[in-house]
Amino acid sequence: MSYFDYPRLHFSGKFIADPSTINNYPANNLANGDLSKMQLYWNPDGTGDFAFEDCVVTKVEYADGSIATTKAEDSIVGESVSSIKNFMLSGAIVDLDPRQMMVSTLFGLNFQIGGDENLKGEFSSTPFNGIWNFPPTTASATYQGSMKNLSFSASSSSKYLKEIQSNAKLSINLTVTQYNMSPQLYSFNDNTFASMLSAGVPQLILDKIEDFKTFSQYQGQNHDKFGDIPTQRYVSKLLVKYLGRSDYNKYQEIIFSETKANYEPGSPFEFTKGLIVGTVGPELAAEPEFVVSSRVLVPSDSSVTSFTYFNVTGTDTGSKVQLNFANSFQIDRKSQPLGFNDVSDLYLARVSEGQVSQILHESPLPLSGSFLVTSAGFLQIDVDSDVSSSPISLVKKSDDGSYTVIQEENIDGYFLRADQFVYRMNPNSTGEYGKNAELKVYVYQYGQPVEDGVEIDISLNKLDMNGGTAISFEDAALKFESTKVKTVSGVATFKMSCIEPTGPFPNDLDGDVYNINYKFTNSSLAGYKFASGDSVSVHVYQSEVSLTGKEVLQQYGEIYPVMSWLTDEALVKERKGVVLSLLQQPLTSISHMPVTRDMSIAKRKLAIEWVESL
Amino acid sequence: MILKKLTTSFIAAGAASAFFLTSCNSGGNATVAKNEMILTQEKDSIAPWFVGNKITKNGVVKPADSLVTLESDADFHLWSWQMFLWLMSQDDKAFVFDSAGFFDLSEQDELLPNGTDSKNVRFIRNGQAGMMAHGVLMSQDKEPTINGSLVYYGIHVNDTFAYYVSGQKNNDPAIVAMTDFPTTKPELEVIEAYAKKAYGANITTPEALAMEMKSSWVEITDEKAGKEYITTQAYIPVYKKDSTGKKWIWDGKTRRKAFLAMVGFHVVGSTAKHPEMVWATFEHEKNSPNANYKYDDHGVTKEVKNFTSAGLPIEKDWLFYDVKTNMKNANIMNMTLTTANDGSTIIKAEPSKSISAGSTYRISPYGNKPTEAKKNTLLRNINKSIRGQLKSGDARKEYFLVGSIWTDNGVPGVNNSVPIFAGSTKLANSTMETYTQYNNCFDCHTTQKGLTLSHIAPVIKPLQLPKK
């Protein structure tokens, strides 16, 4: 079972993702806190928070075929879907490493569906995948995971809540899109200094912030100008630090007014916000945490990387096809509410040798208008033909009546996907995040687990800031018991271990980061197409650390301004108790110290020992 | 007869600000120096604070008039003391803060009105405030506790606070037009009118303006065991220990009746020109040792040594400090609290720790840096004066004001401005912010406009409107 099953709930609204970005640039590690040598990127003072905002239930579908889109039909409709704030954060969004920022993971996100009548649960620590749709300043991606430890309010009039109560787990599919990562910039240069002086800021004050002219987002690269500093929050922090609170209060209004640059929003949303749509369905206890048994439509145009996942069940008269289009199409930014761009006249069809042999339904798919936000991009449609074990395609009808294939089913109806696809491994350590781990690749054909004996093989890339280069298994610090494994009950299981990485480790980056690419060994399936980011990322940390515990924490304070006090030994000593507690929380806990989830076990141990010694 | 003149003046004004007539400058060292000089005159009387103008054992105290502008540091501290004595006054055997006109906050964020038949189930929180982790505190195994006790917390508000927040939540136009907590008579009248119109209620003590309070308690065997404490009875959570002893779980429902002794109390309220509220905190004198600190003795800076150079406490009798513990290993969290989605509460031992008492000391005695001799002196003298005047056997005498904090610019953050802290700028209560003593109140209670200043106001459910 999964979000393709019933009862199924859809919601939409906004999300907030507020990651810290100074750590994105590895050379910042060695800048010793000198901001003139650092790249601030687009959100230097990010808190690491991930949260929902103004999300509401828009629709519920039940097993008997009925649908609720109003409160009268089900009291859960129109109710909120909200992330539960724990301490200062709702969830923590964390990159694996500057070398792999395309699997940002949500940790510790609990959320609630409904108001007084509700269900609550804990979302698994889930990385995004399927990232694509890059206009200059935004992107789309999918989080597919489980919600566990469910609890329900004492009584409920909602049919949905009553029906879903028997489930121990839920399957959650979230699509995030139109994220605005374009910050408001404040320009500190000769011109704005002159205008600040004219507007009444004394030269003595301006002298104190002269250094601001040397700060930058990208050290002058990518049309970046020195002195352009992102976000009011970060500039405020710098001004308070350089001027003190009294002078800050006295002059901040003029300073912000005179330095505020022209702003071009990166999306229809405010900075660090975007559109989120979600679909929730039941999940069996034994099912994998991230993979959903499904089929996949892949773009015919190889330059497009958006996939559509779907499922088919047989009916008396044909098939019921359920498709998740949430991350399939470009968004029309001018539409209100936001919807897909150019999705008229689309049909499901059988295609043979490039030609449409059968259109499977009469009317075009209803994907335009408010479909994205009211149905979370999810569509179910009955077709007259049994397509439960034969391929289908998505085609577009032209004005002349001809059809163009837009997406087609992956080769022979196959779909393979690693369940866990982000690993943190530490040589010389055992247990969670230790030196051993299992990689499970699930293989489906037409939505069913493949028979035993389908062989999957893997290859390795070692990642750097410019991408990845192939590396032999012999040369890698990541080892495999076997690099070719046959499926058992639809799963190919690879046993992994790691040894001490040998470097080099430019800019003090910790250890190695690898991409594991998996594929069918059978060369006749070489045409199988992988979605964007459909691989496995593994960070193998070093266990041998040349830094002292103090230096470890100091470095974190320098590249994560939200924890800048870590650079001050007296403050760490004063906060000793809480620092120790936060460093020792599980990585999955929202209470874990923000953004230190990318710290190795060895470094954490050194840091703890140092703090204990204070 | 200077004393008589002072007293007369105090009665007329009805406010702490008139108490020490010479302490009328705003903030700064000059003010401290003046206050210090005055406060060495320990005979300045607090009698006018008492109903009947006479200091009596367990006598009922009047609230300070928060509509009067507080000027000097001493004014703020005295406002705090008078409010504490008032809130801890007992009328008909109920403390003021636990009587009609006050509400307690339930775990479900509901305001529970106090009344003669209330079951007092409110002191049930065990987690401390914290930015990233809710620490849990346990006392040493010593009197007056039974085998050591978890510390329980209660949150309380007065009626002005309750009706103001309810009006905000109910979108009453006149209340919504007020963007901050009330500080003036006209604002107070708006809230009084709303309470009357919407709930048919009268504000019981309008001059106190809006107040919220937090209290901390330990379990004791009976009232007699806590004779030097302010005590009460309440229903507290019953935890079940798991087999490892590293996890205690409360199902969110099961409670038992217990005697409790108060170990700490926050007094927080808006006053004229201070919508950011004055934040003060009190502790029982037997709680925890202070770090070594300096004070001014007639112009000579002296040090109070509470710890030896080896880091061991000199005084041995502390409820929250094991005398064998080096201060280097104190203030370390042994356990944290989380609330599960089903409403159950879990106390979990930290890695390599057990669920047990740790050792706690006050890093910033009197809410100031230990080296801030003049500020420490002011609070020492105020405490000495007031505690010296309270009658023997009055349990309030056993508590002291750690400090009070407000902002010099008197306003929350407006147009991106930041607060200028005043008073005890490193204020924390060792039983409530044990593990976050490095922050002051405003580090967490950010002085932004409106309800966000208070952690509880944004989540409180409005009082239920009467059925028409």
Distance CA B357, CA B148 (A): 7
**Is the predicted pLDDT of residue A569 greater than 60, yes or no?**
yes
Q: Among B72-76, B119-123, B173-177, which stretch is predicted with the lowest mean pLDDT? A: B119-123
Confidence class for position B92, pLDDT limits 50, 70, 90: low
Q: Which residues of B touch A (CB under 8 A)?
A: 130-135, 328, 331-333, 336, 338, 340-343, 350-352, 363, 409, 415-420, 434-438
- Cβ neighbours for B124, distance < 8 A, ≥ 6 positions apart: B107, B152, B154, B234, B235, B236, B237, B255
**Is the predicted pLDDT of residue B186 greater than 80, yes or no?**
yes
Q: Which residue is closest to B344 within chain A, CA to CA? A: A151
Confidence class for position A587, pLDDT limits 50, 70, 90: confident
Tell me which residue has tokens 């976000």.
A231
Q: Give yes or no for A242 touching B (CB within 8 A).
A: no
**Is the predicted pLDDT of residue B78 greater than 70, yes or no?**
yes
Other beta carbons within 10 angstroms of residue A398's beta carbon come to: 10
- Cβ–Cβ below 8 Å for B342 and A151: yes
Measured between beta carbons, the chain B residues lying within 8 angstroms of A256 are 416
Measured between beta carbons, the chain A residues lying within 8 angstroms of B343 are 151
- Give me the pLDDT at residue B343, please: 76
Q: Give yes or no for A585 touching B (CB within 8 A).
A: yes
**Is the predicted pLDDT of residue A565 greater than 80, yes or no?**
yes
- Give me the pLDDT at residue B118, please: 54
Which ranges of A244-396 does DSSP label H, i.e. alpha helix?
245-259, 371-375
Q: Which residue is closest to B359 within chain A, CA to CA? A: A577
Distance in Å, alpha carbon of B185 to nearest chain A alpha carbon: 28
- Give me the pLDDT at residue A87, please: 65
- Give me the pLDDT at residue A556, please: 87
**Is the predicted pLDDT of residue B121 greater than 70, yes or no?**
no
- Give me the pLDDT at residue B270, please: 94
- Give me the pLDDT at residue A289, please: 93
pLDDT in tens, A516-559: 999 999 999 999 999 888 999 999 999 999 999 999 999 888 88
- Give me the pLDDT at residue B413, please: 55
Cα torsion A85, A87, A88, A93 to 10°: value is: -70
Q: Give yes or no for A88 touching B (CB within 8 A).
A: yes
Class of residue B129 by CB neighbours under 10 A (exposed 0-12, middle 13-18, buried 19+): buried
- Cβ–Cβ below 8 Å for B343 and A87: no
- Give me the pLDDT at residue B117, please: 53
**Domain limits, chain A:** 1-182+264-284, 185-259, 294-409, 414-540, 549-613
Task: Please compute the mean of the pLDDT values over residues A305-309 and round it to a whole number.
Answer: 92
- More confident: A499 or A25: A499
Interface of A with B in 66-85 (CB under 8 A): 84
- Give me the pLDDT at residue B20, please: 33
- Give me the pLDDT at residue A137, please: 66
Count Cα neighbours of B250 within 13 Å in the Cβ-side half-sphere.
Answer: 21
Task: Please compute the mean of the pLDDT values over residues A243-268 and round it to a whole number.
Answer: 93
Distance in Å, alpha carbon of A45 to nearest chain B alpha carbon: 16
DSSP conformation class of B50: B
pLDDT in tens, A326-369: 999 999 988 989 999 999 999 999 999 889 999 999 999 999 99
DSSP conformation class of B138: B
- Cβ–Cβ below 8 Å for A121 and B341: yes
Choose, out of B341, B369, B411, B418, the residue to mutate when testing the contact with A (most A CBs < 10 Å): B341
- Give me the pLDDT at residue B114, please: 84
- Using DSSP's 3-state secondary structure scheme, residue B277 falls into strand
- More confident: A295 or B448: A295
Distance in Å, alpha carbon of B334 to nearest chain A alpha carbon: 9
Element (H, E) at A234: helix A232-243
- Cβ–Cβ below 8 Å for A121 and B133: no
What ipTM was estimated for this complex? 0.73
- What is the residue-wise DSSP string for B229-257? S-EEEEEEE--EE-TTSSEEEE-SS-EEE
**CATH number of this structure's domain A414-540, picked from the four choices 3.65.10.10, 3.40.1260.10, 3.90.226.10, 2.60.40.10:** 2.60.40.10
Interface of A with B in 393-432 (CB under 8 A): none
Q: Which residue is closest to B352 within chain A, CA to CA? A: A584
- Give me the pLDDT at residue A136, please: 65
**Is the predicted pLDDT of residue A419 greater than 90, yes or no?**
yes
Tell me which residue has tokens 């003049």.
B374
Other beta carbons within 10 angstroms of residue A276's beta carbon come to: 27
End-to-end CA distance of chain A: 52
- Which H, E and C letters describe B170-233, residue by residue? CCCHHHHCCCCCCCCHHHHHHHHHHHHHHHCCCCCCHHHCCEEEEEEEEEECCCHHHCCCCEEE
Nearest Cα to Cα of residue B435 among B127, B142, B218, B125: B127
**Max avg pLDDT among B220-224, B305-309, B334-338:** B305-309
- Give me the pLDDT at residue B21, please: 28
**Is the predicted pLDDT of residue A317 greater than 90, yes or no?**
no
- Give me the pLDDT at residue B350, please: 86
Of the partner residues B338, B352, B435, the one whose CB lies closest to the CB of residue A578: B435
- Give me the pLDDT at residue A86, please: 73
- Give me the pLDDT at residue B24, please: 31
- Give me the pLDDT at residue A1, please: 84
- pTM score: 0.86
What average pLDDT does chain A have? 93
Q: Give yes or no for A118 touching B (CB within 8 A).
A: no
Torsion region of A204: left, alpha or beta (phi above 0 gives left; psi -120 to 50 gives alpha) = alpha
- Give me the pLDDT at residue B302, please: 96
Distance in Å, alpha carbon of A338 to nearest chain B alpha carbon: 30
pLDDT in tens, B267-299: 999 999 998 899 999 999 999 999 999 999 988
**What single letter denotes the amino acid at residue A578?**
V
**Is the predicted pLDDT of residue B33 greater than 70, yes or no?**
no
Measured between beta carbons, the chain B residues lying within 8 angstroms of A582 are 132-133
- Give me the pLDDT at residue A581, please: 82
**Is the predicted pLDDT of residue A6 greater than 50, yes or no?**
yes
Confidence class for position B16, pLDDT limits 50, 70, 90: very low
- Give me the pLDDT at residue B212, please: 94
**Max avg pLDDT among B90-99, B116-125, B421-430:** B421-430
Element (H, E) at B12: helix B2-13
What average pLDDT does chain B have? 83
Q: Give yes or no for A166 touching B (CB within 8 A).
A: no
- Give me the pLDDT at residue B467, please: 75
Q: Among A173-177, B16-20, B185-189, which stretch is predicted with the lowest mean pLDDT? A: B16-20
Strands A422-425 and A536-540: parallel
Distance in Å, alpha carbon of B420 to nearest chain A alpha carbon: 7
- Cβ–Cβ below 8 Å for B435 and A581: yes
- Cβ–Cβ below 8 Å for A578 and B133: yes
Class of residue A444 by CB neighbours under 10 A (exposed 0-12, middle 13-18, buried 19+): buried
